[in-house]
Structure 1
Amino acid sequence: MRSRFLPVILSNADMDLSRLVPQLAGTTPVAGWAFARACRYYRARGCAAFFLTGRAESLHRDLQRSGAAYAYFISHAQDGDKVTSRADPFFDAVACGDEAGASNIARHSAQVARPDREHPEDFLYVHLLMRRFFLGATDAEAASILQNLEAAVAEGSPSQRLDVCRALLAGDGEAFHEALLRLIDEHRAWYETGFQKGRIPEEVWATDGCLFIEGLALLRLARAARLSTYEEYPLIPSLALAPPRIRYEDGSWLTP
């Protein structure tokens, strides 16, 4: 089911970006909340355009803008303003194939958790992906982070993201496939329940809830690691997985 308000969502995001982005260009100090909002608008516009047109190029272009905006922010932010697990724009960069942008985000992200602002397991999940796939972590270094992640996950509690990481590091395509399907189910249930109970607005459900960008990014990583994956997954249309045909530019976010 798709929202009938997708044209409005796209138009609103476009208008918000045209107002916000010019205020962010060259500003110091950088305001985390403002860049988070810009990234959110880029992602929403890209998702809405993709659903309306079926063209992956529009999605990939706006995901790249989101990642580039966040890379600018994270490279100029004070250490105290960096929270690694708040990683939507990192996944945006990975999902659109912007390896340089994802590497830039990883390089400037905090290397230690902020216990006052994030859960250890959330930090370790993103930290592991950044270190392993974009910062050249060795097998031993990645295994050490994975071990810390296993220890951080409450005993007996299921963690689909932990299972995804285990499969990625082990090179086990079938285990990755099964863990990703469970993660997709978890993602869909969270957004659908939140939407039905009024906790999540329709414009968020219609974009983030119906197109799983984190899952798309994980599939890109799995395929880059030569894991065997399926062609189609729920909430991750094969059209979105098409090879990106866009230019990767650091300053793309400045032109909404």
Structure 2
Amino acid sequence: MTSDRLPLFVEVALQENQRLISRGLGNDLPLKEVLTLCQNFRLAGIGALFLSATSDAFLWRLHQSGRCFFHFLSRADDGEKLTSKCLPFFDAIAAGDLDTAREIALHAKRFREPDMEYPEDFLFVEFLMQRYFLGATDDTCNELLTHYEAALQGAEDFRLGICRALLIGDEAAFGSELSGFLSARNDSIQDLSANGSIEQETLATEGQLSVEGLALIRLAELQGFSTEEDYLNIPSIAREPSARPFQRDSWRSTPL
């Protein structure tokens, strides 16, 4: 995907966000529309990164996504929440906004909705929240991973290997499992592209950069892991630190 349509994709995403924000300021938005807001911030940030080759706008948009999602979680009851649908949690971590990531973890629902969430998706997010932001013990984290493995019923999931490596501090295993995760993700996106099952704006942005993978690298570095400079779909420019202070209500305005 060439970048000639990226400015349009970014513009449309931010226009939709301005409409949703204007409508939602007086009334709380449902989870589906909040996730649309967050995805649009993510799309706009990735687009800005590719267009400018600088990380400032990218990290700011990820921060906005995290703040927007925290605002929703802080006002919603548990019936409106789905922990596995917490990609904005990864946005906050990837942006380096660990305070917002912690707030999201604190306000997330601690149990799974069986009819709406796969157990492995829930347990992956819950493990990271517990491990890095909620002060869980190693025993608690091990128990979560035991349930995770059982839920897979022998199926392969690189995320489980990533979690195990993080828990035991195995730097080499983390690198191997992360590479497997990113490769499998890329293969899946290519399959979706081949059969026309992915929108072009998504393919040009999230399809080319893994915010989830970037967040996992941030967490690994928090506990002292050495990491590679570049990974598949995680360009080194995306890992530069933010140059501007984060703001609590940043999500309420789309301009930079």
What is the TM-score when the length of structure 1 is the normalising length? 0.96
Out of 246, 249, 255, the position equivalent to 2:247 is 249
- Paired with 2:24 and 2:98, the residues of 1 have a C-alpha distance of 24
After superposition, the CA RMSD in angstroms is 1.1
Which residue number corresponds to residue 140 of structure 1? Answer: 139
Higher alpha-carbon deviation: 7-16 or 59-68 = 7-16
Which residue number corresponds to residue 20 of structure 2? Answer: 20
Q: Write the deviation string for residues 68-112 of structure 1: whole angstroms up to 9, x where unpaired.
A: 000001111121111101121110001001111101111111101
Which residue number corresponds to residue 114 of structure 2? Answer: 115
Which residue number corresponds to residue 42 of structure 1? Answer: 41
Which residue number corresponds to residue 237 of structure 1? Answer: 235
State the 4+ residue runs in structure 1 displaced beyond 6 angstroms. Answer: none
Out of 219, 222, 244, the position equivalent to 2:220 is 222
How far residue 172 of structure 1 moved from its aligned partner, in angstroms, is 0.8
Residue 67 of structure 2 contacts residue 248 of structure 2 at CA under 8 Å; is this kept in 1? Answer: yes
Residue 21 of structure 1 contacts residue 254 of structure 1 at CA under 8 Å; is this kept in 2? Answer: yes
- Paired with 2:17 and 2:81, the residues of 1 have a C-alpha distance of 23
Give me the identity figure in percent.
38
Which residue number corresponds to residue 64 of structure 1? Answer: 63
Residue 3 of structure 2 contacts residue 51 of structure 2 at CA under 8 Å; is this kept in 1? Answer: no
Structure 1 unpaired stretches of 5+: none
Residue 56 of structure 1 contacts residue 244 of structure 1 at CA under 8 Å; is this kept in 2? Answer: yes
- Paired with 2:193 and 2:77, the residues of 1 have a C-alpha distance of 35
| 2:95 pairs with 1:102 | no
Which residue number corresponds to residue 6 of structure 1? Answer: 6
Q: Write the deviation string for residues 9-46 of structure 1: whole angstroms up to 9, x where unpaired.
A: 11111211222212112424x41122111111101100
How far residue 3 of structure 1 moved from its aligned partner, in angstroms, is 4.4
- Paired with 1:226 and 1:2, the residues of 2 have a C-alpha distance of 37
How far residue 2 of structure 1 moved from its aligned partner, in angstroms, is 3.7
Residue 70 of structure 1 contacts residue 105 of structure 1 at CA under 8 Å; is this kept in 2? Answer: yes
Structure 2 unpaired stretches of 5+: none
Residue 84 of structure 1 contacts residue 110 of structure 1 at CA under 8 Å; is this kept in 2? Answer: yes
Residue 195 of structure 1 contacts residue 205 of structure 1 at CA under 8 Å; is this kept in 2? Answer: yes
